[in-house]
Amino acid sequence: MTPDTAELAIADPARELPGPPGASAAAQAGVGRAAADVRGQGIAGLRQRLGAAVDSLGPARAAAVRDSWSALWRSRLLVWVVGVATLATYGFGPVRHAFIPPGLTRGFGWLGDLLAAPAARWDASWYLVIAHYGYRPDLGAFTASRDAFFPLYPLGLRGLGSLGLPLIAGGVLISLLALALALYGIHRLTSLELATLTRRGATPSRPAAGAPGETDVARLAVMLTAFAPMAFFLSAVYSEALYLALSVGLFYAARRGRFALVGVIAALAGATRSTGIVLLLPALILYLYGPREDRAPDRPHARGLSLRYRLRRDALWLALAPVGLLLYLAYLGLAGGDPLAPFHAQDVWGRHFAGPYAGVWDGLRAAFEGARQLLSMQQTHAYFATGGESPFVAAQHNLLLIAFLLAALVATAGVLRRLPLAYGAYVIAALALPLSYPVTSQPLMSLPRFEVVLFPLNIWFASWLASHPRLRRPVLACSGLAMAFFLAQFATWHWVA
């Protein structure tokens, strides 16, 4: 029995892996009527109506919608064109060591398999398996690997699947909708923070001619997020986009003083991924120290650790933050498994606790040994544990990972200097998992994917880049090219992050 066949050994094999169901006749008829309506009124008329609807939102919201939509469709078009073209040119690649459950990530015909390439690779298989089979904790070690993947995203896939949508299509749809909301939220949040800094005198109240404004920085923050080197994960069957949307929404709701919504979002984030619970930290900081838009500080001149806002009843909503995680643990226990399995699941994936942020040192050492490996120009002797990979490939991975770490450290310092404390505290806390639980062969494994959802890094980078206009196009072009390069590897089953 293996993870691929765990259910097949106990369930009815007659229809264990159904093919993607087709749309109902009523749904097809509805689509046909909608298409006819669009053709009837003409594309120009439709654009005019949509433009008028966006304009009615007001200047700030309209700018956020337009900039977010532009970044969304341009970046996702790049993702699918590169992914499909790479797979059509080079084939599927080395899939010998990949987990590819039959009927869930392939078997959709030549066109369907091409379209699935940018979305259904590596961890996507686990989300699809969970959505189709469930966690099945009663099977013990055979399904223990699934416990590391939190339930909210696969529950969404399962819900859409019950409506007749193929699981991969449902996963992509959830990720795209979440990404759209996240980009819009980043635009609005960036504008809000820059406006607050301007009121406090941190930036000139009347910028000089040619100086970047709030809209420029917000637009850049959205573009940097959509075209980040690892941003192709944001439209794949991964939970990254959903978690990004929830984390951005939590910050925006907390800045507005809507702490009932903050508590609900925090609970959902805790059910989305293991780092979701850390969102309670920035929520508490924003509640007690601000900045907040809902009311003036109770102690406006408080310094240091002195609270600027007194506790009120609405602080009780923050107690909802661990509910999502606790419900997941309770489910595992009641279903016959270990309620603490998500914490032990890191061992299944080769992670071990090395001490708070001790993975930084391990990553530096692995990168140094990787450089020695490459400079030696030989593979007969490995300078470090390779985990079964080619020493050259492992060395390249470790050098790439340390580059992402150094970039994150620089950006984190910028966040701490430029943005309110809650943003920097969130980034530092969110990096605790990948930097405290290294993998022996690649201590910083998956760090680039963890970083892609840390939106404060992009907000700071956008504010810096806005002050260096000559670098905007080259930086965005290089970032987009890097995303295309990493996506080509991902689509052909090469490990990226």
The least confident of 35-49, 295-309, 314-328, 424-438 is 35-49
Q: What pLDDT is recorded for position 417?
A: 93
Say how far apart CA 355 and CA 425 lie, in whole Å.
19
- Side-chain half-sphere exposure of 288, counting CA atoms within 13 A: 15
Judged against a pLDDT cut of 50, whether residue 444 lies above it is answered with yes
Tens digit of pLDDT for each residue in 450-459?
999 999 999 9
Using alpha carbons, select from 418, 280, 436 the residue that is nearest to residue 363.
436
3-state SS, residue 291: coil
**DSSP code per residue over 198-223:** HHTTSS-SSPPTT---HHHHHHHHHH
Tokens representing 79?
């993702």
359 exposed, middle or buried (CB, 10 Å; 0-12, 13-18, 19+)? buried
Greater model confidence, 145 or 473:
473
Say how far apart CA 445 and CA 389 lie, in whole Å.
14
Q: What pLDDT is recorded for position 353?
A: 83
**Which single residue is written with the structure tokens 């809650």?**
422
382: alpha, beta or left? (left if phi > 0; alpha if psi -120 to 50): beta
Tens digit of pLDDT for each residue in 259-296?
999 999 999 999 999 889 999 999 999 999 999 999 99
Greater model confidence, 310 or 99:
310
Tens digit of pLDDT for each residue in 58-73?
888 899 999 999 999 9
Q: What pLDDT is recorded for position 15?
A: 43
Q: What pLDDT is recorded for position 38?
A: 46
Tens digit of pLDDT for each residue in 377-408?
877 777 777 666 778 888 888 899 999 999 99
Say how far apart CA 442 and CA 370 lie, in whole Å.
10
With cut-offs at 50, 70 and 90, classify the pLDDT of residue 12: very low
Prediction pTM value: 0.87
Greater model confidence, 22 or 154:
154
Element (H, E) at 224: helix 214-226
Average pLDDT over residues 121-148: 88
Q: What is the C-alpha radius of gyration for the chain, rounded to an integer number of angstroms?
A: 24
The least confident of 88-92, 115-119, 360-364, 452-456 is 88-92
Tens digit of pLDDT for each residue in 162-188?
999 999 999 999 999 999 999 999 999
